Structure 1
Amino acid sequence: MGTVDSSSPKLRRSLTTPLLTLYGLGVTVGAGIYVLVGATADVAGPFAAFSFLIAALVVSLTALSYAELATRYPVSAGEAAYVEAGFQRNWMAVLVGLSVAASGVISASAVAIGAASYLHALTGLGTAFLTISVVLVMGLIALWGITESVFVAAVITIVEITGLLFVIGWGMSIQEPQGYAISEMIPGLGLDTWRGIFAASLLAFFAFVGFEDIANVAEEVKEPKRTIPKAILLTLVLATALYLGTSVTVLLVVPIEVLSTSSAPLALVFSNAPEAIRQGFAAVAIVATVNGVLIQMIMASRVIYGLADRGHLPKILATVPQITQTPVVATVLVVGTILFLTQTLPIGTLAERTSQIVLGVFVLVNLSLILLKTRPDAAGLHFRVPLFVPILGVVTSALLFAAGFL
Structure 2
Amino acid sequence: MTDTVPPQPKLRRALNVPLLTLYGLGVTVGAGIYVLVGATAAQAGPYAPVAFLLAAIVVAFTAFSYAELSTRYPVSAGEAAYVEAGFRKEWMTVGVGLAVAASGIISASAVTIGAASYLQPLTGLPVPVLTFAIVVVMGLIALWGITQSVLIAGIVTVIEVSGLAFVIYWGFGMAAPEGVPLVQMIPPLTGPHWMGVATASVLAFFAFVGFEDMANVAEEVKDPIHTMPRAIIATLVLASVIYFGVAAAVLYAVPLDVLGSSSAPLALVFAGAPEALQQGFGVVAVVATVNGVLIQMIMASRVLYGLGDRGHLPAAFASVTRTQTPLAATLFVAGLIMILTQTLPIAALAAWTSQVVLAIFVLVNVALIRIKHHGPPMGAYFRVPLVVPYLGLMTSALLLAVSFI
In the TM superposition, what is the alpha-carbon distance from 1:298 to its structure 2 partner? 3.5
Contact 2:3 2:378 in 1 (8 A): no
In structure 1, the residue matched to 2:106 is: 106
In structure 2, the residue matched to 1:346 is: 345
Contact 2:213 2:299 in 1 (8 A): no
Contact 2:35 2:114 in 1 (8 A): yes
Report the residue type matching 2:5 in the other structure: D
Q: 1:207 is paired with a residue of what secondary structure?
A: helix
Report the residue type matching 2:359 in the other structure: G
Query: Which segment drifts farther, 377-386 or 300-309?
Result: 300-309
Contact 2:94 2:312 in 1 (8 A): yes
Percent identity between the aligned chains?
62
Contact 2:178 2:252 in 1 (8 A): yes
Following superposition of structure 1 onto structure 2, how do residues 217-366 of structure 1 map, counting pairs within 5 Å?
A: 217-308=217-308, 310-314=310-314, 327-328=327-328, 330-366=329-365
Report the residue type matching 2:120 in the other structure: H
- Segments of 5+ residues of structure 1 without an aligned counterpart are none
Alignment CA distance shift 1:155-1:236 (3 Å): same
Distance 1:77 1:17 in 2: 20
How many residue pairs are counted as aligned between the two chains? 404
In structure 1, the residue matched to 2:395 is: 396
Alignment CA distance shift 1:319-1:81 (3 Å): closer
Q: Deviations over 1:275-310 (max 9, x none)?
A: 221111111111111122222233323433443455
Using the size of structure 2 for normalisation, the TM-score is: 0.91
Q: Does 2:48 align with 1:48?
A: yes
In the TM superposition, what is the alpha-carbon distance from 1:66 to its structure 2 partner? 0.9
- Segments of 5+ residues of structure 2 without an aligned counterpart are none
Alignment CA distance shift 1:4-1:355 (3 Å): farther
Alignment CA distance shift 1:59-1:269 (3 Å): same
In structure 1, the residue matched to 2:204 is: 204
In structure 2, the residue matched to 1:368 is: 367
Contact 2:309 2:315 in 1 (8 A): yes
Using the size of structure 1 for normalisation, the TM-score is: 0.91
Q: 1:163 is paired with a residue of what secondary structure?
A: helix
Following superposition of structure 1 onto structure 2, how do residues 82-101 of structure 1 map, counting pairs within 5 Å?
A: 82-101=82-101
In the TM superposition, what is the alpha-carbon distance from 1:57 to its structure 2 partner? 0.3
Report the residue type matching 2:307 in the other structure: L
Contact 2:141 2:149 in 1 (8 A): no
Distance 1:236 1:115 in 2: 23
Contact 2:144 2:323 in 1 (8 A): no
The alignment yields a C-alpha RMSD, in angstroms, of 2.6
Distance 2:59 2:254 in 1: 28
Q: Deviations over 1:22-73 (max 9, x none)?
A: 3322232212111110111111111111110000000000011111112222
Report the residue type matching 1:399 in the other structure: L
In the TM superposition, what is the alpha-carbon distance from 1:132 to its structure 2 partner? 3.2
Alignment CA distance shift 1:227-1:314 (3 Å): closer
Contact 1:109 1:342 in 2 (8 A): yes
In structure 2, the residue matched to 1:64 is: 64
Q: Deviations over 1:90-122 (max 9, x none)?
A: 221111110011001100110011001100232
Distance 1:141 1:7 in 2: 28
Alignment CA distance shift 1:151-1:317 (3 Å): closer
Distance 1:252 1:199 in 2: 21
Report the residue type matching 1:393 in the other structure: G
In structure 1, the residue matched to 2:153 is: 153
Distance 1:73 1:316 in 2: 23
Contact 2:69 2:82 in 1 (8 A): yes
Distance 1:276 1:13 in 2: 42
In the TM superposition, what is the alpha-carbon distance from 1:176 to its structure 2 partner? 2.6
Alignment CA distance shift 1:69-1:313 (3 Å): closer
Q: 2:381 is paired with a residue of what secondary structure?
A: coil
Q: 1:337 is paired with a residue of what secondary structure?
A: helix
Q: Deviations over 1:345-389 (max 9, x none)?
A: 221111110011111111111001100111232423432221111
Following superposition of structure 1 onto structure 2, how do residues 114-133 of structure 1 map, counting pairs within 5 Å?
A: 114-133=114-133
Report the residue type matching 2:402 in the other structure: A
Q: 1:30 is paired with a residue of what secondary structure?
A: helix
Distance 1:7 1:249 in 2: 48
Distance 1:106 1:175 in 2: 34
In the TM superposition, what is the alpha-carbon distance from 1:74 to its structure 2 partner? 2.8
Contact 1:3 1:84 in 2 (8 A): no
Q: 1:379 is paired with a residue of what secondary structure?
A: coil
Distance 2:340 2:299 in 1: 18
In the TM superposition, what is the alpha-carbon distance from 1:203 to its structure 2 partner? 0.6
Distance 2:220 2:311 in 1: 26
Q: Deviations over 1:129-180 (max 9, x none)?
A: 32333234434555x5454344333211111110100111111113531111
